[in-house]
Amino acid sequence: MREGGSLPALGEADDGFKYVVKLLGAGHGKKALIAEFLGSMIAKAFKFKVPETVLLYLSPLFGITEPDEEVQELLRNSEGVNVGLHFLSGAATFDPAVNAVDDLTASKIVWLDAFLTNVDRTRLNPNMMIWNNELWLIDHGASFYFHHAWRDPEKSAVDPFPYIKHHVFLPQASRLKEADRLMRQAITPRTLSKIVDMLPSVWLTEEDSELTASKRREVYRRFLTERLKNSSVFVKEAIKQRKMLGL
């Protein structure tokens, strides 16, 4: 699937279902898979509709007959644990000019993406689908951008997230304070911790790094816990950005 920079694959797993496979060997590698997995599972915990998210193992034989050398190299570099998202057959791309969403739902999605520090839900690239007349959230691989530099994650946890100004739903997010109250009630640090515990340890190891997998896991756990505790910081920023739009 030659869309964007990640080159996801469409494959059928041994359970008989088709999945959009986010590949370990593409783009930002392990970090993109971590962001995709955490973002999808957290969105699901908040009761948003998200494609079923699974861990998929690619054997060394997968794609061995692929004639395209670039794709075959990508598949070879993706041997091991990858992320699969259930393929929404027949789904249509969300169009903000056509598809209506109520203000509270819009506010909750703005809250979610500010919480995850997801920079990739814009008008040009909303990363949402309409399937069975319902709104589905996809593609969370651009979340948790602090882990690309891995500098001062404690400070990143209280980042106001000014990138929210580009969010497709920000103009419609008129109920952010209400959304903040509801979202904080909808999840607990314990649930977030359980989701972080589901990350494969192999994704949390980096060459030439003194941080062990367990220490990296703890960084993600603390980031999410502190960000939930300090949600008022990014809510105030979103409200400020709305005012700057004259709303």
| Domain final position from 54, 86, 118 | 86
What's the rounded mean pLDDT across residues 36-46?
98
Both structure tokens of 120: 């990739």
Query: Is the residue at 133 inside a domain?
Result: yes
What pLDDT was estimated at residue 208?
A: 75
Q: Which residue has the tokens 């949390």?
A: 204
Residues 120 and 210 in one domain: yes
Q: What integer pLDDT is reported at residue 3 of this predicted model? A: 59
Domain co-membership, 166 together with 80: no
- Average pLDDT of the chain is 93
Q: What is the pTM of this model?
A: 0.94
Contact predicate 221/192, CB 8 Å: yes
% of residues, the chain, pLDDT over 70: 98
182 domain residue, yes or no: yes
Q: Are residues 145 and 230 in the same domain?
A: yes
**pLDDT confidence of residue 188:** 97
* Count of domains forming the chain: 2
Q: Do 81 and 96 belong together in one domain?
A: no
Same domain assignment for residues 223 and 179: yes
Beta bridge partners of 18: 12
Which whole-number Å values give the CA distances from 203 to 32, 50, 190, in the listed order?
10, 22, 22
Domain boundary among 25, 59, 86: 86
Residue 125 falls within a domain, yes or no? yes
Say if residue 240's pLDDT is above 60.
Answer: yes
The string of pLDDT tens digits covering residues 51-93 is 999 999 998 887 788 888 888 888 888 999 999 999 999 999 9
What local confidence, expressed as pLDDT, does residue 151 receive? 80
64 in the same domain as 104:
no
- On whether residue 195 sits in a domain, the answer given is yes
Q: Does residue 3 lie in a domain region?
A: no
Residues 71 and 109 in one domain: no
Strands (E), the chain: 9-12, 18-22, 53-58, 80-86, 92-93, 128-131, 134-137
| 120 shares a domain with 56 | no
Whether 168 contacts 122, CB under 8 Å: yes
Note down the domain range covering 42.
9-86
Same domain, 68 and 109: no
* 106, 64: one domain: no
